[in-house]
Amino acid sequence: MKYPIALFLIIFVDHLALGQILKVDKASLDADSSGYFMGNINMDFNLNNRGATAEEQITFRGLTANADVVYVSEKHAYVLINTINYFKSTGGPLISTGYAHFRINLWRRKKMSYETFSQVQYDDGRNMPFRFLQGAGLRLNLKNGKKTNFHIGIGAMFEHEKWRALDEENAVLERNIWKTSNYLGGQFKINDFVRFNVICYYQGGYDRDSDIFRNRVSGDVVLRVKLTEKLAFLNSFTLQYEDRPIIPINNFLYSLTNGLQWNF
């Protein structure tokens, strides 16, 4: 349980959102001003006992916490994105996931800029106690308008994973894979109160231990409705597809969440 605790501390000690999407105002990263912090925190909690009968008492508990923080300097931007999830139902296993993602955007105002990134992640529900990745790439701003922003990223990364085998007790499979890491993202401002954030990732590489190529596609779509200057309503949809998981588990995942976001 040391990885969930570490990520939980990162979220709250640093005063602070499978894909990574920054839920702060993207336009602020391209502003002329510099030397400031911005960010947000949102938390969703779900508790219900929707059993079929009085004798069949089924309780569901879920907690999702997301946090983004950004420091914008004159030339660069430093981004920290965090997510942690806990889900438990009566008679079912505890499902716990989370990640911390740190990214630096160098020369952020230029049409073509540079990025470096690191991420630590775990997913107990899918028998993945640890994933670490580190990489770098180019970011191209295709359009940077008042209502619409488009950008693409092209890069490479090194990924280290640990998986618990399903057919052998206490066995852990480790993989070290170099992968391409590419994304396409955008932000759409409908009006002063409503915004869409969209991002899609592709990551793929050759697994020498298994002598196969492994490919992963993931994406996030976020609808943000501004309620006050500090408070907003969020509707988030995420999905992920892996063509060849390292262990035989479900290769398609999705989630839909609703909650409130506090901005600072």
Count other C-beta atoms under 10 Å from residue 49's C-beta. Answer: 11
Strand partners, 239: 219, 254
Report the alpha-carbon distance of residue 20 to residue 25 in Å, rounded: 15
Cα–chain center distance at 121: 10
The model's pLDDT over 170-196, given as tens digits with 9 standing for 90+, comes to 899 999 999 999 999 999 999 999 998
Block residue for tokens 């030397």 = 35
Torsion of CA 261, 117, 220, 234, to 10 degrees: 0
Query: How many separate domains does the chain show?
Result: 1
Confidence at 31, pLDDT banded by 50, 70, 90: low
Domain with 228 in it: 2-263
CATH of the domain at 199: 2.40.160.40
The model's pLDDT over 209-252, given as tens digits with 9 standing for 90+, comes to 999 999 999 999 989 999 998 888 888 888 999 999 999 988 99
**What predicted TM-score, i.e. pTM, was given to this entire model?**
0.79
**Residue 202: what pLDDT?**
95
Q: Nearest CA to 263 among 97, 22, 5?
A: 22
Find the DSSP H helices in the chain: 2-13
Query: Which residue type occupies 114?
Result: Y
- Tokens encoding 258: 């609703």
**Residue 217: what pLDDT?**
95
Q: Could you tell me the CA-to-CA distances from 246 to 158, 213, 215 in Å, in that order?
A: 16, 11, 11
In 7-147 the beta strands, taken as DSSP E runs, fall at 36-48, 60-72, 77-89, 95-106, 112-123, 128-144
Query: Which residue type occupies 230?
Result: K
Does 2 have pLDDT greater than 50? Answer: no
* 76-90, 126-140, 144-158: least confident range: 76-90
Query: Which residue type occupies 191?
Result: N
Q: What mean pLDDT do residues 122-137 have? A: 93
